[in-house]
Structure 1
């Protein structure tokens, strides 16, 4: 049951990225181009995503455990430090240059694999480099 729910969640997430335009690098770049030909449509997508997420947090607070697990595994919150700031800066630079971030990049593999594969390979390389060089 757990694997089926994970698969359905992934398919729903990927479909949402594709339908919303978040998997389209040109639309993302136009959204990030605040002083040029700015396209505000992704602001509505991001804002709209806050509604179901808010509902999910309200439900999570009211139930003892998830439906398919023994307990919730939520990350602890910490203050902003140098590693978080550097990671956010690198993420923003990569998002601006590539027009993709990890979720939409994976979803885009089904839409335009040849165009997105270099980004995904570079992303996986960066993840591997982080895993083997940075101590948490």
Structure 2
């Protein structure tokens, strides 16, 4: 989709949505890694309510939008499912994300929100995320260049 068919409100809406998401994470305490780690150890189940509330709002909006609108208002794209097969890359990515989240209490969203509330040591975790993403991209490019074609898991 070309950016010229998007509404002029597309980028401001993305920025506002990201800021609202970050504020929600910070306000709920979910930007603090120790809170997330307590959740993962089943000591503080507040995150269940935060995620459940977010899922309820998202599910309601998606259900209503796909029922009453034929296209997304800001991008003018038709609604549809993103078809992605469940393959080895998805499984490995999920495991890496889960292990990283479990060890550090960080995911990208909460890490940025944590930085926004003044937790500057979180920069080490963010650097690790960027380094991991860069290494994965480099490895994928290397693998494609040596094999000549992309594999189905790419």
Change beyond 3 A, Cα 1:25–1:4: same
Normalising by the residue count of structure 2, what TM-score does the alignment of the two structures yield?
0.78
Please state if 1:91 is matched with 2:81: no
Question: Over aligned residues, Cα RMSD in angstroms?
Answer: 1.8
The one of 34, 50, 71 equivalent to 1:26 is 34
Give the 5 Å matches for 1:1-136: 1-34=9-42, 38-62=43-67, 63-72=69-78, 76-134=82-140, 136=154
How far 1:23 sits from its partner (Å)?
0.7
The 1:68/1:44 distance shift into structure 2, 3 A limit, reads: same
Q: Which runs of 5+ in 2 are unaligned?
A: 1-8, 145-153
Shift of 1:82: 1.9
Pair member with larger Rg: 2
Describe the superposition over 1:41-90 as per-residue Cα deviations: whole angstroms up to 9, x where unpaired. Answer: 11111111121011121123121222221205766244432221111111
For structure 1, list consecutive stretches of 5 or more residues without a partner in the other structure.
none
| TM-score, length basis structure 1 | 0.87
Corresponding pairs, count:
133
